[in-house]
Amino acid sequence: MIKITVDTHTHTSVSAHAFSTLEENLAAAAKKGLEGIAMTNHGPDLGDGAVWFHFKSARHLPRWVNGVRLLPGAEVDIMDKKGRLDIEDKYLKDLELVIASFHTPCFPENSPIEDVTEAWLNVMDNEHVDVLGHMGDGRYMCDYEAVVKKAKETGKIIEINNHSFRVRAGSDVNCRQIALLCKKYSVPVVLSTDAHFSLEVGEVPNSIRLMEEIDFPEELILNTSLKKLCDYLKVEI
C-alpha cells in the first residue's frame, strides 16, 4: 500500500480561493503524521492573492514546525508558449519546491496541442522549476510522450494531482496515460493533494489508486519519504 509522507502541493488563505492558514495546514500535517508539507500558493498573475513579496519572504519561514518540515514553495503560472512564468527567477531560486502549472486566466484553455507542448518544453529549461503541475488537465492537452521524455532529460518531476480527478475534466484518463509514460521512461512523480482546506492535507486516494492499478514502481514516487524527496530536490532536510 502506497503512503505519502510529504504533501508537495498545498494552498493557504494567501490564495483567495483557499481557506486555511499555514499554521492550520501544518497542524493537520502533524496530526496525520506527515513528515513534511510544501506551501505552494499561486503566482501573482492568477489574480487570487499572493504577490511577489509573499514569495520573497517565504524563505524566512522556519523549516520545522511541530515536527513537520515546511518547504516554502510556489505554484507558478505558465504565461505563454515561450514558457514565461509569473514569478521572477530571483525569487524562485530561494524557494525549495516550485510547481509550474497552466491556469485559465493566464494561458488560454483548449489551446492547440502544439502550443501547450511548446510551453512545457520551454518551462523545463528553467532550472528553478521542479514539478510539472496537474499535467492531466483536459483543457491543456499536449504531446505527453515529448513532455515526459524531456522531463527525464531535465530531471523534472511529474505531479499526479489528487484534486484533478474531481475538478479537472479528463484527468482520470490523461493521468493514467502520463503515469504509464513515467513508468516507461523512469520519470519520478509526486502524488499531491492541491489542498485548499486543511482537512484535505495528505489525502491522495485517487492518485494512489491509479498508481496501484498500473503497478507503478514505488521508488519513483518521491514523496513517500522526506529524505527521498529532499535528496532529489537537493534541499537540506
| Binding residues for Zn ion (CB under 5 A) | 75, 101, 194
Closer to Zn ion by Cβ: residue 49 or 183: 49
Tell me if 192 sits within 8 A of 204, measured CB to CB. Answer: yes
Grid coordinates representing 186?
523512469
In angstroms, the CA 61 to CA 70 distance is 8
Read off the DSSP letter of residue 192: E
Query: Closest separation between CB of residue 99 and Zn ion, Å?
Result: 7
> How far apart are CB 236 and Zn ion at their closest, in Å?
25
Q: Could you tell me the smallest distance in angstroms from the CB atom of residue 183 to Zn ion?
A: 24
Shortest Cβ 131–Zn ion spacing (Å): 11
User: Closer CB to Zn ion, residue 74 or residue 230?
Assistant: 74
Q: Output the DSSP codes for 89-109.
A: HHHHTT-SEEEEE--TTTS-T
- Identify which of residues 108 and 217 has a Cβ nearer to Zn ion in the complex: 108
CB of 194 to Zn ion, least distance (A): 4
User: What's the one-letter identity of residue 93?
Assistant: K
> What is the Cα–Cα distance from 134 to 131, expressed in whole angstroms?
9
Which CB, 40 or 225, lies closer to Zn ion? Answer: 40
For Zn ion, give the closer residue by CB, 117 or 192. Answer: 192
Contact 229, 10 (CB under 8 A): no
- Cβ of 15: how many Cβ atoms within 10 Å? 19
C-alpha cell belonging to residue 93: 531560486
